[in-house]
Amino acid sequence: MNTEIITRTARATLEGTIAFPDVVRQLLAAGVEYYHVDYVGMRKTFYGADGDEVVTPIAYERMPQVAPDLDLNALRTNIRDSQINGQKFRDFTRRAMEAGIQSYYAFLRGKRVTYTGRQGDQHTEWFPGSGPSTSPNLTVVSGSASIVTQDSPTA
């Protein structure tokens, strides 16, 4: 992975000078397969297909604590505000924490983000223009995707 591109992109994200589609393009070009945003530890970890990882801080002050319960409506409104109005990452972060998001994984090649609340609640949001594949191992439940193997129950 290209650490220079990753850290430069992470810094631009924190500064609010780069849009999410450009973040995705730059991180994919740098060899990032997915990344994890940890609002409790205030850091991002970027992962490459070869197992490499790069950690960068989320250096924001005066952020709220993560709310104890996931508020899915508040999360969806926050996501839409970013997509439609170009909300900056700092505001997105504050609102996500207020909506009970402790962390999320952004799967760049998979074109989706899975958000997690403090009680293990999860919500998967597809990148605009993307959606579940037609894979026989992918089941969509209430807008979220789950992998089902032959050994897994489907109910």
- 95-111: per-residue pLDDT in tens? 999 999 999 999 999 99
Q: Where are the beta strands (DSSP E) in the chain?
A: 32-38, 43-48, 53-57, 101-107, 112-117, 122-126, 138-141, 144-147
Q: Residue 32: inside a domain, yes or no?
A: yes
Q: Is residue 52 part of a domain?
A: yes
CA separation for the pair 77, 96 (Å, rounded): 10
Residue 153 lies in a domain: no
Which of the four pLDDT bands, split at 50, 70 and 90, describes residue 133? low
Identify whether 15 is part of a domain: yes
Q: What total number of domains does the chain contain?
A: 1
Domain of residue 74 covers 3-128
Residue 43, in any domain of the structure: yes
The verdict on residue 133 lying in a domain is no
DSSP bridge partners of 140? 145
| 140 confidence band (pLDDT: 50, 70, 90) | low
* Beta carbons within 8 Å of 137's beta carbon, 6+ residues apart: 147, 148, 149
Is 97 contained in some domain? yes
Is 77 part of any domain?
yes
- pTM for the predicted model, two decimal places: 0.83
For the stretch 14-18, contacts whose Cβ atoms lie closer than 8 Å and that sit 24 or more positions apart, written own/partner, are 14/58, 14/59, 14/60, 14/89, 14/90, 16/88, 16/89, 16/90
| Each residue's pLDDT tens digit, 60-74 | 999 999 999 999 999
pLDDT at residue 82 is higher than 80: yes
Q: What share of the chain is helix, strand, coil (3-state, %, to 5)?
A: 30, 30, 40
Query: Looking at residues 112-125, what average pLDDT do you find?
Result: 95
The domain that holds 100 is classified in CATH as 3.30.1810.10
